[in-house]
Every structure is written in C-alpha cells, then in structure tokens.
Amino acid sequence: MKTLLMIKPDIVERGAYPEIIALLLRNRFAIRRMAMVAFDRATAERFYDVHRGKDFFPSLIDYMTGGPVVALELEGAAVVEDIRAFIGPTDPARAKPGTLRFMYGTSIQCNAVHASDSPEAAKKEIAIAFGDL
C-alpha cells in the first residue's frame, strides 16, 4: 500500500522539513519517492478538488501555492492509517503530543502536513504531486 505525505509551504520555507523527514525515518516509515514541487493554482485546485466550494478553499489554494511543498510517497502494509495517526487531526489545537501537527502546526490551515485519507485518494494525489501521466 502507498500513500502521499505532503509537507506544506510554510514548513518548507522555514527549513523545518528535514526534521520531519528524520522523524518519519525514525518511526520506520519507508520513503519511496520524494520531491520539492511548486504547485500552480490549477494543480492545487485539482489536488484539493473535494474541498472546492467550501469557504476555506480560496485561502487554502493561496496558501498551497505560496511556495514549494515537499511530497513524499510512503509505502507500507497499513501506511494510509499509520501516517494519519502519526500526523494527528486536521486542527493542530486538537492534536496530541508526539504528532507532527502538534509539533509543527500553527492553525487549522497551516497544519504542517497533508496525508491522503484513503488508498484511492493516495493514488490520485501521488499522480498529481509527482506529475505521473
């Protein structure tokens, strides 16, 4: 099973992404591919298609196109669930110590990382992030 973890622009900007990569490795997540990618608006909108029409959508697209992200393809038996447990809930204020969003998130929008919520979403998101045809 594969999934996508994406480190968001503000974390990349402040140089904290190597710490997150080190934490992933120390927790034995297997990284198969990794890339620094600058999303254009059309690509970010396609990536977050399920949120189109929600009040936070325009601001989310501004944020996600404000600088490059780091995309990581992870592989493991239950990696979709395991990485979501490791990042914590969407709102960093509700995240538990030890989770990435607790450590690096600063608001519900600037929540440090994104992880696919299902194997189907992972397939689509990996293809978009890595520009697979």
Residues that bind ligand CMP (CB under 6 A): 51, 56, 60, 90, 108-109, 111, 114
Query: Closest residue (Cβ) to ligand CMP?
Result: 114
Residue 100 in contact with residue 87, Cβ under 8 Å? yes
Rounded CA-CA distance 66/8 in Å is 10
Of the two residues 59 and 133, which places its CB atom closer to ligand CMP in the complex? Answer: 59
Rounded CA-CA distance 109/112 in Å is 8
User: Is 114 tagged catalytic?
Assistant: yes
Q: Which of 83, 92, 111, 114 is catalytic?
A: 114
Q: How far is the CB of 30 from ligand CMP (least distance, A)?
A: 21
Which amino acid, 56? Answer: F
Q: How far is the CB of 22 from ligand CMP (least distance, A)?
A: 22
Rounded CA-CA distance 16/112 in Å is 10
Active-site residues, by number, are: 114
